Amino acid sequence: MDGIDQAVTILAGAIRAGTPLVFAALGELVAERSGVLNLGVEGMMLMGAVTGFIATAVTGDPLVGIAAAMLAGLAMALVFAALTLGLLANQVATGLALTIFGVGLSAFVGQDYVGTPIEGLKALDLFGLAGLPVVGPLLFGHDLMVYLSLVLLAAVAWVLTRTRAGLVLRAVGENPDGAHAIGHPVLRIRLLAVLFGGACAGVAGAYLSLVYTPQWAENMTAGRGWIALALVVFATWRPVRVALGAYLFGGITILGLHVQALGFDVSSQLMATLPYIATVVVLALISRDATRIRLNAPAALGRPFHPAA
């Protein structure tokens, strides 16, 4: 029974560890489906994390913190959109600059809040069933944001595959000139997609500072923004695969924390690198099948567009 309990603990932890990746990767997936490549996810997550933490520390309400983090992500995404969609700046260079900017600004803004205690978002006892063996902790004992990430996953998958709005978004990502020719506002659609991605990245950052480890520390995202970017490619731009990949990487993270408890004499530093090693290995394996990537990637990904061009 101890083995079962430990397995349940690891699986439940994998869901929690994967949740910020679900938020960030889904937001980036929508942006990339519109043809915009935003490499600034890490910076937007950090700004969401610090803004959400400060708002929670000041108000005492984690929900206010999450809303503030979403606004911070939106603001960062708006800067990116102004440069890439308005001024036609290079998307890759702008995204990298956004990450560097977010790393520095978050450290500056949050320097007075390092070590400040807060009351983070607590786990729920959904329908009073969290105490059930095995299924209780796995299905009914998570925090509100875990369930909202699942709702977001279902909504994104449904919109992209079952609605006219999703069809138009994908058309813009495949052929913006053709979409513009038949009357679709390409720049407005891309702007909304980028803002959605920024909001999701902000929420992902807030999850780290308000739920996963309720504290603020510099660079606390620890590269999760880059993993989220890799997940989009890993999932071949499909929402359900994004979530599965996020929980897989979350499971690797949690397993690294439990390996020593299971009796294995392995360096904790080595275990901490496992998610990043897995990211590199997976991307290397995927890159071998260039044809599948070309078939699934939005054809206009990273390509600037201007109606007058």
pLDDT digits (tens, 9 = 90+) for 90-101: 999 999 999 999
What's the pLDDT at 290? 67
- % of the chain exceeding 90 in pLDDT: 69
* pLDDT, tens digit (0-9, with 9 covering 90-100), for 193-231: 999 999 999 999 999 999 999 999 999 999 999 999 999
Q: What is the mean pLDDT of the chain?
A: 90
CATH 1.10.3470 fits 2-296, yes or no: yes
Where b means 16+ CB within 10 Å and e means fewer, 226-265 reads bbbbbbbbbbebbbebbbbbbbbbbbbbbbbeebeeeeee
Average pLDDT over residues 157-171: 96
Higher pLDDT, 259 or 252: 252
Q: Which of 23-32, 124-133, 265-274 is predicted most confidently?
A: 23-32
Mutual orientation of helices 274-287 and 239-258 as an angle, nearest 10°? 140
* pLDDT, tens digit (0-9, with 9 covering 90-100), for 37-49: 999 999 999 999 9
What's the pLDDT at 260? 63
48-57, 73-82, 115-124: lowest mean pLDDT where?
115-124
Where b means 16+ CB within 10 Å and e means fewer, 164-186 reads eebebbbbbbbbbeebbeeeeeb
Higher pLDDT, 133 or 55: 55
- How confident is residue 66, by pLDDT bands cut at 50, 70 and 90? very high
Average pLDDT over residues 153-177: 96
**Domains of the chain by residue range:** 2-296
This prediction's pTM: 0.94
Asked if the model's pLDDT at residue 1 lies above 60, the reply is no
Pairwise CA distance, residues 220 & 215, whole Å: 9
Asked if the model's pLDDT at residue 268 lies above 70, the reply is no
- % of the chain exceeding 70 in pLDDT: 94
For residues 298 and 170, the answer to whether their CB atoms sit within 8 Å is: yes
- How confident is residue 2, by pLDDT bands cut at 50, 70 and 90? low
Asked if the model's pLDDT at residue 263 lies above 60, the reply is yes
What's the pLDDT at 9? 86
